[in-house]
Structure 1
Amino acid sequence: MVKQDSSSLTDAVEQVAKQQQSQTSEIEKNKKIRLHLQNELHELEKQIAAVSAEAKETERQIYQQDATIENTKLHCGNLETQIRSLHTENVKLKFDIEAAQEELEEHMIRYNEYYAKIKFHKDSLGAVERKWPFMTELHEKRDLVKKLKIMKEELMQDLQNPEGNWMKQVQEDITKLKDKIKSVKESITEKSRFLEEEKQTHEKLRKEIEVQHKRYGAILKRLHCQVNKLQSNRRQWQWNIQQLEKTAAELKKCIGMKD
């Protein structure tokens, strides 16, 4: 009896354990399902938000396209107006061109007639001019100018050719000039040396002259002093002579009175 009860209890415990395990497994499974559903819900919410943003962007683009279409319609209307105006101007220009072309044809006819007359007069004048003496001289001068141009071209070619006669002559002249320049430089160097010596001599003479000037200045000063002294003595002598003459006159007067 006890064994049966113990066995029944064990079975009951095992059954309860199995039920708990089954419930635990079911709970875990439900958790996983709930987590999966939550993830799917979150993903759906993100998709809904993205679709909503895309819908707003689409609405904005549609609004912009509507505005662009309106602007395009307005621009097309302006273009149609301009096209009609240009068409009118083109028609007017076409008539003007036709009229101008007709006028040009008339002018060309008159010009050809005038050109024919001018050519006739020019030919006649040329025949007469050829008989004039100065025209003969003019033609001769023209021929001379042509010859000079040919000579100029030949000279230019000769100048461009290093082996040409002109270049050889120029090189010889350059060599002569170099020799002459060298000779002149040597002469200048010699003259410069001579001038330097002359400068030194002049400097020496200048110093000697300054010394002589100082010496003569002192002598002249001394002579001036002597002259001044002599002039002073002369004035004194003149005064003394005048006094003596005065005294002599008085003595003569006294002698005359005594006689």
Structure 2
Amino acid sequence: MNTHPNPIVLVHGFWHGSWCWSPVTERLARRGVPSLAVDCEGFGLHARSPEARWARPFAPAAYATAPSPVADVTATSAAEVLVAQLRGLGRPSVVVAHSMGGVVATRAAELAPELFEALVYVTAFAPVAGVPAGFYIGEPENEGERITRLMAADPTVTGALRIDPADPARHPDIRDTFYHDVDPATADAAIALLSPDGPFGITTEAFEVTPERYGRVPHTYVVCTEDRGVPAALQRRMIREIDAVALRPATVVELPTSHSPFLSAPDALADALTTVYRRSLSTTTA
């Protein structure tokens, strides 16, 4: 019988991969907390890029119109991959989801709530009100966001939210949007690791969550108050909507960071996750 607690499972957001959690997993280990960062469907080692990304000479027009190889990924298909990853651990886990990874984790928690000891959102989308994540892009709480300016293609044409991290001219905007409080060398390294395509289908699929399934999972929301990608006002709307369907109110933690606290404030984020993890252990063994 497995007597060891499951690791915290860390789920990244769009354009990132399991690599972005490296500073946090290191600090969790120092605190005696096991963790596992996974690649979502369409990202990291599961990423596929349009051939136009690699063509030389580079053709911007071709890059802007090439169909995405990950256009078939949806919130449900990505959630099914995550459920399989969680099921392989054999016991319920604390799942931590960042940004658009929150969509995947939300869907997974409805599909398989028995695999979730708790769900922690880190400045993440949590579309629990019956509308797709993309609906919130035009909402008043999202005013001032800086992600849409990074788009290098029309997602209705390519099937993806496509950025161009290989273009040095776009790096200042990427740094400003995701990493404005991250040291420059680390920010540059992160930009070099970004995938170009975020599957459009993750943002356009609406799905239902229920109090009986999703709602029974304990929730924590880490608000990043200086986020320029997902404004704090939108994060707080997500909390209100979670509370409307969950059986108990979400625990709220605030960090004065950008969209990427795993790089700019890994100690503070690790502290917050350690608290959730130890609380879940005490509940399980009580």
Q: TM-score, normalising length from structure 2?
A: 0.12
Higher strand share: 2
Larger radius of gyration: 1
Q: TM-score, normalising length from structure 1?
A: 0.13
Higher relative contact order (CA 8 A, sep 6+): 2
Higher helix share: 1
